[in-house]
Amino acid sequence: GAVVSQHPSRVICKSGTSVKIECRSLDFQATTMFWYRQFPKKSLMLMATSNEGSKATYEQGVEKDKFLINHASLTLSTLTVTSAHPEDSSFYICSARSGGIEKLFFGSGTQLSVL
Amino acid sequence: EDKVVQSPLSLVVHEGDTVTLNCSYEVTNFRSLLWYKQEKKAPTFLFMLTSSGIEKKSGRLSSILDKKELFSILNITATQTGDSAIYLCAVGSGGSNYKLTFGKGTLLTVNP
């Protein structure tokens, strides 16, 4: 099956710093990538949808200036958490979709801890 | 606003029991319904359903979709401790603006 690589898997940072998370599709072209946030034992909450070469579409309540998403190529999307605060601590997970295929393939997630 | 509602939110059973997980939805421009299993990290794909009344089966797991009543069920027979996980239901909707909306999940715990 299709492989989506996400890294880092875990990051600990100080409050006020920025953190970049990468999501790569390794064996297919990801026309659309999705970024989710997940709290312990809770479901995935969609943060934003990014299409290659265009601006990301953010869900209501998600600050686009705080969570910067770039989808510059068909195999790479990045999420940058700017000026991170402790309340941004969470599990972030990306997923990718290729063309007309409706099944999403997930990265392994990034556990962000902001001190 | 698209909605996906799963029930129960959590369930504790003994090995060998059969469980039924429920997922109902209200979305605009329905495309498909998907079930995922999440243990520790990334959700793993179980089923994708697009047509009503056609059961999909994989080993002890099976699922069916009812597009008239807007729900799906996931059955697990002869449960094992390895089935313990969060089971996520997601609905794909939209045209060019396709997105996948997840329910809150069902936390299944299978005790020996």
Report residue A103's pLDDT band, with 50, 70 and 90 as the boundaries: confident
Among A4-8, A9-13, A53-57, B61-65, the minimum mean pLDDT is found in A53-57
Given a cut of 90, is residue A109 above it in pLDDT?
A: yes
Tell me if A93 and B42 make a contact (CB, 8 A cut-off): yes
Q: What is the pLDDT of residue A1?
A: 63
Single out the residue of B104, B96, B89 nearest to residue B49, CA to CA.
B89
- What mean pLDDT is reported for chain A? 90
Residues of B in contact with A109 (CB under 8 A): 41-42
Q: Per-residue pLDDT for A22 more than 90?
A: yes
Size of interface A-B (CB pairs under 8 A): 51
Yes or no, beta carbons of A106 and B42 under 8 Å apart: yes
Residue B1 is predicted with a pLDDT of: 79
CA A77 – CA A54 distance, rounded (Å): 11
Instruction: Quote the CA–CA distance of A65 and B59 in Å, as a whole number.
Output: 46
Reported as a single tens digit per residue, the pLDDT across A37-73 is 988 877 788 899 988 888 899 998 999 999 999 988 8
Name the token pair of B72: 């799906």
Residue ranges of chain A whose CB lies within 8 Å of a chain B CB: 1, 4, 32, 34, 36, 41-46, 49, 57, 93, 95, 97, 102-109
Cα separation, A11 vs A56, whole angstroms: 24
Do the Cβ atoms of B104 and A34 come within 8 Å? Answer: no
Whether A2 shows a pLDDT value over 90: the answer reads no
For B12-50, the pLDDT digits (tens) are 999 999 999 999 999 989 999 999 999 877 888 899 999
Cβ-defined contact of A93 to B99 (cutoff 8 Å): no
d(CA B51, CA B67): 7
A108/B88 Cβ within 8 A: no
Query: Is B105 a residue whose pLDDT tops 70?
Result: yes
Q: Check if B107 contacts A (Cβ < 8 Å).
A: yes
Give A98 or B69, the one with higher predicted confidence: B69
Interface with A, mutate which of B100, B104, B109 (most A CBs under 10 A): B100
Q: Which residues of B touch A102 (CB under 8 A)?
A: 31-32, 34, 48, 92, 98
Of B86, B98, B103, the CB nearest to A32: B98
Q: Does B29 touch chain A (CB under 8 A)?
A: no
Strands of A4-7's sheet in order across: A4-7, A19-25, A76-81, A67-73
Instruction: Determine the pLDDT at residue A51.
Output: 84
pLDDT in tens, B55-78: 999 999 999 999 999 999 999 999
**Do the Cβ atoms of A55 and A49 come closer than 8 Å?**
no
A44–B43 CB contact, under 8 Å: yes
- Burial degree of A80 (CB within 10 A; 0-12, 13-18, 19+): middle
